[in-house]
Structure 1
Amino acid sequence: MDEKLLDSFIKQYEDTYLFATKRIEHMISEELSPMTIEQFGILRQLALHGPSRPNELAKATGVHKSSITHKSDRLIAKGYITRSSDPGDRRYVYLSLTAEGEIVYQQSESAMRIFIKSVLEILEPREIKVLVNVQQKINHHIQNLKVEGC
């Protein structure tokens, strides 16, 4: 790959990703409920897939295994999730979304959709389709990479 093209891509990716992530996290924290984008990811995963073990959440959200307990403790303290033992094997713990957590997740998801829609308004439908296809391809490749610690 051409190094100038790579540099250009990296700069655009960093500017876009960091800006969008920062805006979304600010929007969720300031307007809805104080939480990080990682905590939102945990709520999202639980809302979409139901009760999960902490190691499953770490893998699905990209949060390091050692951080998932700390992040989930904060969500438990806010009343958004609960921790319970597996009745069949008390060594296993499951995290579940509470009714309040579901409301906060839905409000956050709605606000994020409004923000993303406003960003995409500058693109033509065909450009959005190309963007989605490129992101899917990159995401699929990233998920198949073996990266230490993830």
Structure 2
Amino acid sequence: METGAHIRLVLGRAAKAIERIDRGSIAGTGITVSDFSILEALLHKGPLPINTIGEKVLLTSGSMTAAANRLEEKGLIKRIQDPSDGRCFYLHLTKTGRRLIKEAFDKHARNLEKIVDVLTAEERSELLTLLKKVGKHAQNLKLK
């Protein structure tokens, strides 16, 4: 039986190898990982409040504001004030932003697909099930 320590080691090495491909793929788009994450969230979820996007892509309020400013200056997003709540701003992709992230995400998805090409459909499903099971258990675990 494999030990928890050995499983953690193998999982960590796999995660690092996948992260290398992931970051390299995003670097090829010409935008940062955080900017890619923001644009990708807008592509798949549609316009969202700035704070909601920050929560989804794990950026602090200050980092999210700086990223939104940067993306707006590049003409990739626009901020639109919520008419019912003047304190809230929604981020929208511009046509340029949509085109850039669509092309970048499609290329990125193809690169990530190459990683899992080694697995059958059944193995992919089993891997997801097991990772979710371990992850959920780890979240709920109380250590002494």
Shorter-chain TM-score range: 0.7 to 0.9
Query: What TM-score results when the alignment is normalised by the length of structure 2?
Result: 0.80
Distance 1:142 1:78 in 2: 41
State the 1:108 CA deviation: 0.9
**Cα distance between partner residues in 1 of 2:82 and 2:138:** 32
**Cα-Cα RMSD:** 2.7
Residue 113 of structure 2 corresponds to which residue in structure 1? 117
Matched position secondary structure for 2:75: coil
CA distance in 2, matches of 1:86, 1:50: 15
The structure 1 segments of at least 4 consecutive aligned residues displaced by more than 4 Å after TM superposition are 135-145
1:1-150 correspondence to structure 2 within 5 Å: 2=3, 4-9=5-10, 11-28=12-29, 34-137=30-133
**1:48/1:22 CA distance change after superposition, 3 Å:** closer
C-alpha distance in 1, partners of 2:129/2:31? 30
Greater displacement, 109-118 / 13-22: 13-22
Counterpart code for 2:42: L
How many residues are treated as equivalent by the alignment? 140
TM-score w.r.t. structure 1 length?
0.77
Displacement after TM superposition at 1:39 (Å): 0.9
Structure 2: 5+ residue stretches without partners: none
Q: Deviations over 1:73-121 (max 9, x none)?
A: 1111111100121223322211111111111111011101211222222
Cα distance in 1 for partners of 2:140, 2:55 equals 13
Q: Percent identity?
A: 24
Note if contact 1:52-1:95 (Cα within 8 Å) is conserved in structure 2.
Answer: yes
Q: 1:129 to 1:72 in 2, by over 3 A?
A: same
Q: Give the letter for the 2:36 counterpart.
A: F
CA contact (8 A) 1:27 1:111 kept: no
The structure having more radius of gyration, on CA atoms, is 2
Query: In structure 2, how many angstroms separate the alpha carbons of the residues matched to 1:22 and 1:40?
Result: 10
